[in-house]
A = this chain, B = another copy of it.
Amino acid sequence: MDDIAERVVAGDVRAVARLIRDIDDGMPEVREVLKRLYPHTGHAYVVGITGAPGVGKSTLVDQMVAHLRKEGKTVGVLAVDPTSPFSGGAILGDRVRMQRHSMDSGVFIRSMATRGHFGGLTQSTRSAIDVLDAMGKDYILVETVGVGQDEVDVVKSAHTTVIVVIPGMGDDIQAIKAGILEAGDIFVINKAEREGADKTLADLRLMLDMDQKKYEGGKWRPPILKTEAVFDKGVVELLDEIEKHRKYLEQACGTLVPRRRKEKVREELYDMVKNRLIEEVLTKLTETGEFDRAVDEVVEGKIDPYSACDNLVLPKIKPFLE
């Protein structure tokens, strides 16, 4: 264990790759390693990049990496895709596209597909961020697909969250509005050479205007940028805005890393306790066969599921509840 943690801190790429895979696979052993890595975290700046499939997130991330590397920053990239096996191809495609960085030891790229494990996506991603942080990366770019609740939770781990849309998404902007508008620190209209970019810009601006009160008193109002990632247009400007947001956070929070601020810690610990409980108790209930027996009884109509649940849960935690 110690050995793996030491190797991660020393920047050993293989140790990091294996640890992240173990996290993605939900291996309980990783916990001890993460405990040891924790004191080495807190230095990296974490940027979340999220948006629907097809908006060009990977290309954008690829260009961001290139520019950050030019400035001498080291970069970790986590591509998080919780969707079904269907999108395995997309992930592979992305990785191929990013191959130009594959010989650069200052860049570490990994995709995660965590699904259905205890703890889920948010927890795994947080832990993987901790690993890249402990590994010494200056920037960690977390790319997530989609606009669901999972993605919102994931981007909450980021210092700066970039929401990527493309012109003419119409209903999709509505979906973003409903879901993760609140989570966006910077909006990017990628593929801005396409028709409708100005309309999309106006729509987004209107959305932010509706929330104008939130931004009064010097609060950060999310800028809206146009980019053409494939032509490397607007990417430097995006990095500048991220830097501005970082400065804003430093001033507002009085610390380099608001990731460890109280509300973040509260949320993280809450999720962790929740997932741990489920893992421990449900594993045990499954191993002992109690859970299967209860299922059979409900199927046979001997008991209702609500009472079956009471019987499974309450005796286990009774001493604690008293």
Contacts and interface: CB of A to CB of B under 8 A. Distances in A.
A218 interface: no
Contacts of A305: 38, 265, 268-269, 272
A239 to B, nearest CB: 26
Given A86-B178, A178-B87, A269 B291 contact: yes
A214 interface: no
A317 B319 CA distance: 9
A54 B171 contact: yes
Interface of A: 31, 34-35, 38-39, 52-55, 82-84, 86-87, 145-150, 169-172, 174-175, 177-179, 181-182, 260-262, 265-266, 268-270, 272-274, 276-278, 280-282, 284-285, 291, 294-295, 298-299, 304-310, 312-314, 316-317, 319-321
B86 A149 contact: no
A290 to B, nearest CB: 10
A171 B316 contact: no
Contact of A299 (B38, B145, B177, B262): B262
Given A54-B171, A149-B82, A284-B320, A309 B272 contact: yes
Given A52-B172, A86-B178, A149-B150, 19 more contacts: A34-B304, A35-B307, A38-B304, A52-B171, A54-B174, A84-B179, A84-B182, A86-B181, A87-B178, A145-B178, A265-B299, A268-B305, A272-B306, A277-B278, A277-B281, A280-B321, A281-B317, A317-B317, A319-B319
A248 B265 CA distance: 51
24 contacts: A31-B306, A31-B310, A35-B306, A38-B304, A53-B171, A84-B178, A84-B179, A84-B181, A86-B181, A148-B148, A148-B149, A148-B150, A149-B149, A260-B299, A265-B295, A273-B282, A277-B277, A277-B313, A277-B317, A280-B314, A281-B317, A284-B321, A317-B320, A319-B319
B320 A273 contact: no
Nearest to A168: B170
A280 B148 contact: no
A55 B175 CA distance: 12
A164 to B, nearest CB: 12
B276 A53 contact: no
Contact of A316 (B83, B149, B169, B320): B320
A137 to B, nearest CB: 19
A321 to B, nearest CB: 6
Contact of A39 (B269, B304, B314): B304
A312 B62 CA distance: 41
A273 B312 contact: yes
Given A282-B270, A304-B39, A179 B83 contact: yes
A146 B284 CA distance: 35
A278 B276 contact: no
Closest 7 CB pairs of A and B: A148-B148, A38-B304, A83-B178, A316-B320, A54-B171, A272-B309, A35-B306
Contacts of A276: 309-310, 313
Contacts of A294: 269
